[in-house]
Structures are given as C-alpha cells and as structure tokens.
Structure 1
Amino acid sequence: LLGVEPTIDSGSDLQQVLGFLMQRAPSFSLRGGTREILRGIIARGLGLR
C-alpha cells in the first residue's frame, strides 16, 4: 500500500514507525476496551462469570 517495508533498526522514519506499529498492533486488539472490561466486572458481580 505504501510501497515501503517496515523495519525496526534502520531505514526512514516511516519504515521505523511502521515496524513499531506492526509489532504493537496485536497487543492493542487483544486487550479489550472499556466496554469489555465493564461487561466483565458486571458479569462477575452478577455471578455469571
């Protein structure tokens, strides 16, 4: 899409940022957001979990 390869150690600023984001992206999507956290807290309080 951008025509550059992501890298961590060398390359342009764009390549380094892409490399950093590609390493971190899975952790952002797996953590869950506020809505999921509150849903879990409420479910535990109701004894559903």
Structure 2
Amino acid sequence: MLSIFLSFFVPVAGLWLVIKVLAKGFTNKMAIMEQGELKKKFCHKI
C-alpha cells in the first residue's frame, strides 16, 4: 500500500516542484522584460 502511494506521490510532487520553479522563473522573466520596456518608454520621454 505504501509503495503504491509513494510511486504515485513522488512523481506528482516532483512534477509540482518543476512546474512551481518554471512558473517562478517565467514570472521573473516577464517582470524583467516589463521593467525593460518601462525603462525604454521612460528614456524616450526624457
């Protein structure tokens, strides 16, 4: 019973961690890109 639970839980937990890390990286990338765009717009105004 425990082995079945572990064989199901471990991949799911691993997948969840990967998705969480990827999502965090993606949101950080988007934030950096947005900051870059804002800086460009701001520099053009001056």
Tell me the TM-score normalised to structure 2 length: 0.41
Tell me the TM-score normalised to structure 1 length: 0.40
- From the CA coordinates, give the structure whose radius of gyration is larger: 2
Work out which structure has the larger RCO, using CA pairs closer than 8 Å and 6 or more positions apart in sequence.
1
More helix by share: 2
